[in-house]
Structure 1
Amino acid sequence: MTPFSPSEAALEGFRITRENPRAFAWWVGISFLVSVLGAFVTVLMPAEVRHALDTLRAEDTPDLATLADALIAVSPLFVFGLAFQCMMAAAVYRVIFRHEDSRFGYLRLGSDELRLMALTLIFVVLTILLAVALTLGAAIVIALASFAGRGFAVSVGAIAELVSLAVLVYVLVRLSLAPPATFAERRLRIGESWTLTRGGVFWRLFGAYLLAVACMVVIGLLALVLFTAVAGIIVLLAGGQLTDLSTIFHPDETSLAAYLNPGMIAYMIVGSLFQTLYFAVIAAPGAVVYRHLHDDPDGLSLHISAP
């Protein structure tokens, strides 16, 4: 089997959106509807849910009882967000693995999405456990280094943080093929990802993800600058002030009419386009790499042409 190309894998999401415009339009439409629903939730959410969100966003770590109450209060929002993300990821996987199943722009909410949601929850738990273990390990190393002096302990602490971050990234990349494997094989698959990403595969896969993220960062910055410039010109031509742009990035949450102003709606449309592209670009590399490494018996090539 020939090695896969990290650059081709990283750019697969762009190719998918270009060659499947109808599916992309479905994804953008669903993303925009979710944004509108988010506006309704933001304005109309009960006071206890708003307080729970403030608790989770606070810099001070709450006690366990308060944290548990806050998590329970926001759990419906978390489940909805998780379902939406998994539905979008599954749509990208469906384009790659089941291209003929194109109904509703490849969007579903069924057993495939439920398995991806379960897998995501497992990953969240594993990530938290790994982060706690790395934090404790770093704390022990720093405590031992403190016997050699404060300056040495600070240097060791900085190195320990870098090592912890590297270990976390390494583990996440090694397990990153689990979602497409779970979708393709219709059952939870975690260990297979670790097996497939041994040796040089890790670095190629890491390079693909890094390039995909870098592309989206550049596109996001360009989109933000262009949107801000155009919105600023429109505001000035309408006789307003540049300070009026704050209503877009910091909308008035006292009423739906105030929140859903024309500028905010335009921002939501642009955001939906970017978010949809982001989902495709981030989800696609793992799927095409998994299929390539798994050596699909149907002999599918790295690229799929749209019908």
Structure 2
Amino acid sequence: MEQFSATDASLSGFRLVREHLKTVAVWAALMTIASFVVSVITIKVAGPQLTTMMELSAEPSTDPQATLKAMEGMGPLFLISAAYSLVIYSVLLAGVNRLVLRPQDSAGAYLRLGADELRQAAVLILVNLILLAAYFGAVVVSVIIGAIGAGLGGAALGVALGVLTGLAMAGLMLVLAVRLSFAGALTFDTGRINIKGSWALTKGRFWPLLGAYLVALVLALVVYLLLLVIIAVIGAAFGGGLAAMGDAFNPDLTSLAAFFTPAGIVRSLFSGLLSILVLLIVFAPPPTIYAQLRGRDVLDTFG
């Protein structure tokens, strides 16, 4: 069985950034503009309501009815947000696949609005539906097993079985996520939606794939936190002092004035770069590994 370098794959996002600085700059600028527009619309439409909902959700003792009441009338906003996320991620994931699998196709900074993007959207929807179905199925099984255990051996046995089935559920979700991780790259490469093919290509490679993805996630988290600290420091330097540093971590959505403080403006200006760097670090490994397994020399992509 042909193998790959998990270490090289986990660093593939950094290589893409290094070799495609202009492309990353364009993506970051476009993402910043999109994020700015969405933030303004969201705050104008439901800023205070969102703030209330998040505050209630963060309190464990909050009455669920109060949270649901705060969400009243926000269905359209959630649908628009979901549609926006689907479009953005479909375009960007197609762009990442294009960077790795078709590096010569550089027109438009590797971004398009076409059949490839539509297929990526379909893959995102299908994979998430599979994961969602598996999650709800596992939850039902977990509740049933916990109830049976409580009936046979008391509350302690019920809790123990509930914990064990919860761990099994987490393991199932992890296995599914890894085994389906080539769906996007395979679909982009072949020009047809192929979820099943990812399961076949990842067979026997779960642990090295998991290792590569976990390292990439840790690196993305480090970059994310580091950039947040830099954003907070710069924002504090422009006004508000140390107290303003909290704006980078917990933006105020109650109004445009509260959101676009000096620290908030700095955060907005850096938001696109932050999003693109994290996206490349997390999502570059699957197409890179796929390319290696399919016999492509991805090193050529990076010079």
TM-score grouping bracket, smaller chain normalisation: 0.7 to 0.9
Distance 1:19 1:139, change over 3 A: same
Distance in 2, Cα, partners of 1:17 & 1:227: 20
SS in 2 for 1:304: helix
SS in 2 for 1:188: coil
- Show the counterpart of 1:168: 173
> What is the correspondence of 1:190-269 to structure 2 with a 5 Å cutoff?
190-199=195-204, 201-235=205-239, 240-251=240-251, 253=253, 256=256, 258-269=258-269
Distance in 1, Cα, partners of 2:178 & 2:38: 31
- Show the counterpart of 1:286: 286
Q: CA deviation at 1:149?
A: 2.0
Distance in 1, Cα, partners of 2:5 & 2:199: 19
SS in 2 for 1:153: helix
Deviations 1:162-198 (A, max 9, x none): 1110011101110110011111111101010000111
Answer with 209-218 or 264-273: which moved more: 264-273
Distance 1:252 1:12, change over 3 A: closer
SS in 2 for 1:45: helix
Q: CA deviation at 1:46?
A: 6.3
Q: CA deviation at 1:77?
A: 2.3
- Show the counterpart of 1:5: 5
Unaligned runs of 5+ in 2: none
- Show the counterpart of 1:21: 21
> What is the correspondence of 1:1-307 to structure 2 with a 5 Å cutoff?
2-45=2-45, 60=64, 71-146=75-150, 147-199=152-204, 201-235=205-239, 240-251=240-251, 253=253, 256=256, 258-295=258-295, 300-305=296-301
Distance in 2, Cα, partners of 1:40 & 1:241: 25
SS in 2 for 1:278: helix
User: Normalization by structure 2: what TM-score?
Assistant: 0.86
Distance 1:70 1:124, change over 3 A: farther
Unaligned runs of 5+ in 1: none
Q: CA deviation at 1:269?
A: 2.6
Answer with 143-152 or 223-232: which moved more: 223-232
Distance in 1, Cα, partners of 2:180 & 2:254: 43
Q: CA deviation at 1:257?
A: 5.1
Query: How many residues end up aligned between the 2 structures?
Result: 297
Distance in 1, Cα, partners of 2:203 & 2:294: 13
Distance in 1, Cα, partners of 2:12 & 2:75: 36
Distance in 2, Cα, partners of 1:191 & 1:115: 15
Answer with 240-249 or 29-38: which moved more: 240-249
Over aligned residue pairs, what C-alpha RMSD do you find?
3.2
Distance in 2, Cα, partners of 1:61 & 1:94: 46
Deviations 1:257-294 (A, max 9, x none): 55334321211233322210111111111101112223
Distance 1:61 1:9, change over 3 A: farther
Q: CA deviation at 1:140?
A: 1.7
Deviations 1:232-254 (A, max 9, x none): 3443xxxx453344455455546
Give the counterpart letter for 2:126 in structure 1.
Answer: I
Distance 1:73 1:303, change over 3 A: same
Q: Percent identity?
A: 29
User: Normalization by structure 1: what TM-score?
Assistant: 0.85
Q: CA deviation at 1:230?
A: 4.0
Q: CA deviation at 1:302?
A: 3.1
Give the counterpart letter for 2:164 in structure 1.
Answer: I
Give the counterpart letter for 1:149 in structure 2.
Answer: G
Distance 1:218 1:113, change over 3 A: same
